[in-house]
Structure formats: C-alpha cells, structure tokens
Amino acid sequence: MSHAREIALVAVTAISIALAAPVLAQSYPTRAIRMVVGFPPGGFTDILARQIAERLVPSMGQQIVVDNRSGNAGIIGADIVAKAKPDGYTLLMGHNNSNAVAPSLYAKLPYDARKDFAPIALTGSVATVLVVHPSVPAKTVKELIAVATRTKGQLRVASSGVGSTQHLALERFKLATRTQMTHIPYKGSGQAVIDLIGGHVDANFDGIGVVLPYVRSGKAACPRRRHAAARPAASGGAHDERAGADGVRERVVVRGVRPGRHSSGSHRPLVHRAARTVGAA
C-alpha cells in the first residue's frame, strides 16, 4: 500500500477556568492564582504554561503558581480544576487530551468537559512528530517500516499516556503502515523523551518543540520522508518536512486568544477580563 497518507495530529492547549460564582471582575485578582498542568515538567504543555504564567504576573499583579498534576493523559489535572472552589483562582492549562479526546474515548469521566469549564484563551498548538533513538537503523520512514515489519512488535514506542494525541498518532501510523509496535505510555512527554535519549524506548511521538533540541544535538533522529528535500532548519538540524515522515508532517501554529463562549452571563465579566489579560501577555 502507499505510505504517503498523512497523519497530522495537533495538540492544542487552552487556558480554562472552573465555572465560578459571580465575582467582582474589576478587583480580580487579589491573591495568587493556581494554574494546573495535567502533565509533568518538561513537556510542551508545561513549558507553555510557565511562559504564560511569567508574562501574566506584571498585568495581573499577582503570582501565577504552576501546579503539575500529571496522570491519565491530563484527566487528573482537569478533574482537580473541575472540583476546585469556583472562585476564579484555579486555572487549567487545558489540553485536547483531557478536554476533547477523553470525552470521546471514555463513556464516563469525573467531570463534564463542556459544562465544568469556561474557556479563556486558545494559547497554541503543536504538531506531533516521530523521532527514533540513533541506534534504530532507520534514516527514512521506509526503513523504519521495514524494521517494524521484521521485528514484529519489538519496537518500543513511547507516548505521553493512553488516549493521548501521541498514542493516537502511533495507532494511526500502525494502521497506515500495517506494522506492529509496542506502546509504552508515560505520564507526560518529559520522562518519555528522557527514556528515548537513554535508549530505554526505541521511538517516540511527541511535540516538535520538545524533541527538536535532541534531534539537532544528534541524541535523537527524525526519519525522512522519501521525497522530502533535506533542507536545514534555520538554526540547524532537521527541516520540518523531515520531522516525522511519510504520513506524519510537522506543523506548529500559535493562535490568538478568545473569550469563553460557554460561560453563563454572570461569569462573562471575569472570563473576558482574564482573556484580555492573557491576550495582552
């Protein structure tokens, strides 16, 4: 079969707020704000959350405390925010794993992704790409497919958790190439990448921003698409069309912010104020 089929899975992050009782938006905030991240330190969502938190401090006039609560592809963190006191001081660095994919995969969740949160801002998105340990004898996707076919499930592929966008990318890749690989789920990208670099897993589907430094340093490799030109990236290393491959094309998009549309009228002043602040940051 042709292996030119594209798999473009994009991880999307957004800041959400637990639906709150009416508060005086003009005076908000009067104390430190907690921003929950459903993944361990070191992954794309954590890095983005810390960058945003740092930029919010001057405009908010209060500290933004990033609280990593990892597990179950972000579901644990989302549940903590859903059950937090609804006073506007607990934010969720949301992810499509917990707020879009999980509601489609699981018949029952400990929260309602549509009703328990008011979206504040769409903060960014990052594409999922495929990288391998340098010991894997595959410089192209065709060679990687051959290795996977020959080893019949022995290739160990990491992801940031069961049901994550990285896990879905792996499963779609296996379907598209008719190969078998062993899924190794982690609680987040950070440890998955560390184990890839250490040779404890053979490959990893992850965000380009997380893995690109390791590709540039030679600690990981991006199998090339057959027909992709080997053009260097602006700062060295693999060009984006090499990052991932036949069926996995890299694309990074950072979008603007918007007020939450699902919040009730009594919550809108708070949500809109928070959205404007994030947008300005």
Q: Which domains does the chain have, with CATH numbers?
A: 12-124+257-280 (3.40.190.150), 127-252 (3.40.190.10)
CB 206 within 8 A of CB 129: yes
Tell me: the pLDDT tens digits for 244-271?
334 444 332 222 222 233 444 445 666 6
In the block, tokens 């930029």 appear at 55
The pLDDT value given to residue 44: 81
Strands 10-18 and 90-95, how do they pair? antiparallel
The pLDDT value given to residue 79: 92
Average pLDDT for residues 187-206, to the nearest whole number?
Answer: 92
CB 27 within 8 A of CB 111: no
pLDDT band at residue 202 using 50, 70 and 90 as cut-offs: very high
Residue 276 pLDDT > 50, yes or no?
yes
pLDDT band at residue 182 using 50, 70 and 90 as cut-offs: very high
The pLDDT value given to residue 4: 33
The pLDDT value given to residue 230: 39
The pLDDT value given to residue 150: 96
Record the pTM. 0.67
